[in-house]
Amino acid sequence: MRLLSEGEFSLKLLIIPLLTKTSAKDVSDSKSFFTKKLNNIYIMIQETHITLAHGNGGRYMRELITELFAKYLPTSDTHTDAAILPWNSQEIVITTDGFTVQPLEFPGGNIGSLAVHGTTNDLAVMGATPRYLTLNAFIEEGFETAKLERIVQSLAATASEIGVTVVAGDTKVVRRGEGGGLYLATTGVGVRTKQVKLGLQHIQPGDAVLVSGSVGDHGIAVMLAREQFGLRGDLQSDAASILPLTQALLDLPGLRFMRDPTRGGLATVAHEIAQFTGHNLRLIQTAIPIRDPVQSVCDILGFDPLYLACEGRAVAVIEASQAVTALQCWQQLEQGQMATIVGHVEPGKARVILQTELGGERLLDELEDDPLPRIC
């Protein structure tokens, strides 16, 4: 038997004729990860190995989490960035994250600053103020000590800027060739008032969708830092704390939901909203801010910037009557100067629709491939 190389996977295909008593639900209730219908035949595909696509934030990752992890951990809420724990007159908000970005240092940040931003941003979009972090470092034998010190210094400086304290940690060293140089894992703890009520369940048809700035910057910046495909550039990652952005909207009673569009980008957040609510989400192509260098690289390589990771942007869903007020709140901040209203929720069949600049429409599929693995 040939061994699988990185990025490969094996599939089990089960062909089931479309019989009178066989429904899509019958098929999807099986232990397979996903099904497809072709010419009145359900093709049930059961994956037997993990692929890079299972970590890209898209459909495979969602199915892996909901159909494997949540199956055995039923108390986990897979639709939120953090868990809410009641505590006296406030609520404790806790999240956990892992970081495997390659290269470890890139224009606009490194794995240390990214770990702090990524973790605290997950707390911020839940309406919390980040307070504490824990840190696990997995270091490969032979890693340069000076490089490790630069990364830890950056991590500490970023935590200090945001106002969080690293209160506990652990260090492991793996043998040479058994790691990617350095991996980090974090847990973040924050607090919020009980008056904050945010979540997918609050979204209604007619609500407006806002994004705080240009999309795809982080994904393309990291790719260029790798000098993949013979391309180079100095585009800066958007990696930053979005705490000022989220706090600016918390006093608006029409605020429904916030999310940071990391792996899978804006399109994946849109799918998450559509699937949970059962409504369509319409994005207006001409309203979505995309920097020229990002669009140019995407045009060359065939990428769609709507699926690329951001690490310093926020997506907000808010009652339509307060959308302009929310937009003005963001545009007054340095990080929000490129903020726009990019779409709205409408009655439909849980689809994500892109209204093109020519006035046409096309459906945005849920992300399946992973064009840029190890992006965060």
**Range of 90's domain?**
83-193
Number of domains in the chain: 3
Per-residue pLDDT at 13 exceeds 50: no
Structure confidence at residue 55 (pLDDT): 67
Mean predicted confidence (pLDDT) in 45-66:
72
For residue 370, name the pLDDT band (cuts at 50, 70, 90).
low
DSSP 8-state assignment for residue 128: P
Distances in Å between the Cα of 108 and the Cα atoms of 39, 64, 158, 331, 374 are 49, 32, 12, 22, 16
For residue 70, name the pLDDT band (cuts at 50, 70, 90).
confident
Rounded to 5 degrees, what are φ and ψ at 64?
-60, -45
Q: Are residues 323 and 206 in the same domain?
A: yes
Structure confidence at residue 71 (pLDDT): 80
Q: Are residues 220 and 323 in the same domain?
A: yes
Nearest to 316 by CA among 334, 304, 328: 328
Please indicate, yes or no, if residue 373 is contained in any of the structural domains. no
Per-residue pLDDT at 74 exceeds 80: no
Please indicate, yes or no, if residue 60 is contained in any of the structural domains. no
**Domain with 103 in it: what CATH number?**
3.30.1330.10
The answer to whether residues 48 and 12 touch, using CB atoms and an 8 Å cutoff, is yes
Rounded to 5 degrees, what are φ and ψ at 103?
-75, 165
Please indicate, yes or no, if residue 54 is contained in any of the structural domains. no
The answer to whether residues 225 and 106 touch, using CB atoms and an 8 Å cutoff, is yes
Q: Are residues 231 and 180 in the same domain?
A: no
**Domain with 330 in it: what CATH number?**
3.90.650.10
| Residue finishing a domain among 193, 225, 253 | 193
Are β-strands 34-38 and 109-110 bridged in parallel, bridged antiparallel, or unpaired? unpaired
Rounded CA separation 31/15 (Å): 14
| Residue finishing a domain among 138, 168, 193 | 193
Please indicate, yes or no, if residue 374 is contained in any of the structural domains. no
The CB density around residue 22, as the number of other CB atoms within 10 Å, is 12
Mean predicted confidence (pLDDT) in 43-48:
57
Per-residue pLDDT at 294 exceeds 60: yes
Q: Are residues 154 and 254 in the same domain?
A: no
Give residue-wise pLDDT tens across range 207-229.
999 999 999 999 999 999 988 77
When mean pLDDT is compared over 67-76, 85-94, 272-281, the highest value belongs to 272-281
Q: Are residues 108 and 28 in the same domain?
A: no
Q: Are residues 321 and 207 in the same domain?
A: yes
Instruction: Name, in order, each residue with C-beta under 8 angstroms of 224's C-beta and a sequence gap of 6 or more.
Output: 107, 231, 232, 233, 234, 235, 297
Please indicate, yes or no, if residue 73 is contained in any of the structural domains. no
Please indicate, yes or no, if residue 237 is contained in any of the structural domains. yes
Q: Are residues 188 and 224 in the same domain?
A: no
Phi-psi region of 375 (alpha: psi -120 to 50; beta: other; left: phi over 0): alpha
Structure confidence at residue 46 (pLDDT): 55
Rounded CA separation 120/131 (Å): 9
HEC per residue, 2-16: CCCCCCCCCEEEEEE
**151: buried, middle or exposed (CB in 10 Å: 19+, 13-18, 0-12)?**
buried
Structure confidence at residue 87 (pLDDT): 80
Q: Are residues 93 and 170 in the same domain?
A: yes
Give residue-wise pLDDT tens across range 302-326.
999 999 999 999 999 999 999 999 9
Query: What amino acid is encoded at 124 in this protein?
Result: A
| CA–centroid distance for 261 within its chain | 5
Structure tokens at 265: 């980008």
Please indicate, yes or no, if residue 354 is contained in any of the structural domains. yes
Please indicate, yes or no, if residue 76 is contained in any of the structural domains. no
Q: Are residues 182 and 237 in the same domain?
A: no
Q: Are residues 167 and 208 in the same domain?
A: no
For residue 41, name the pLDDT band (cuts at 50, 70, 90).
very low
Per-residue pLDDT at 4 exceeds 70: no
| Residue finishing a domain among 139, 174, 193 | 193
Q: Are residues 176 and 210 in the same domain?
A: no
Q: Are residues 299 and 153 in the same domain?
A: no
